[in-house]
Amino acid sequence: QVQLVESGGGLVQAGGSLRLSCTASGRTFRSYATGWFRQAPGKEREFVAVITWSVGITRYSDSVKGRFTISRDNAKNTVYLQMNSLKPEDTAVYYCAADTAVFAFSGWGTNIDYWGQGTQVTVSS
């Protein structure tokens, strides 16, 4: 089993930056991909970004490409999401996720194996 613990959410003005962190505990595997989804109030969950542990390949949704950067520290078993140039439409609960299949990181994330508890990000105008 894998437990994911998130931190770094908060309130920021439009144009500002935040960095989210997600640390895994329990049984881990180098083959796991890890990344982020988000869910705005009254909206469906959507894919944000993913990174593989063994190769480091990254993918982003079109809405965050060029503004967000996903990275990892394998020694600390931690993944980060650096969010720059934040917009009010980025307001959502952000969820860390892990899965052995990188193709699970798309759409609503229906088949994701492990989820974090979520951290609130609020961007004011």
Phi, psi of 88 (to 5 degrees): -55, -35
> Is a pLDDT exceeding 70 seen at residue 4?
yes
Give residue 29's pLDDT. 59
For 76-102, the pLDDT digits (tens) are 889 999 999 999 999 999 999 999 888
Would you state the pLDDT for residue 101? 87
Closest CA relative to residue 109, chosen from 90, 125, 93:
93
| Residues 56 and 73 sit within 8 Å (Cβ to Cβ) | no
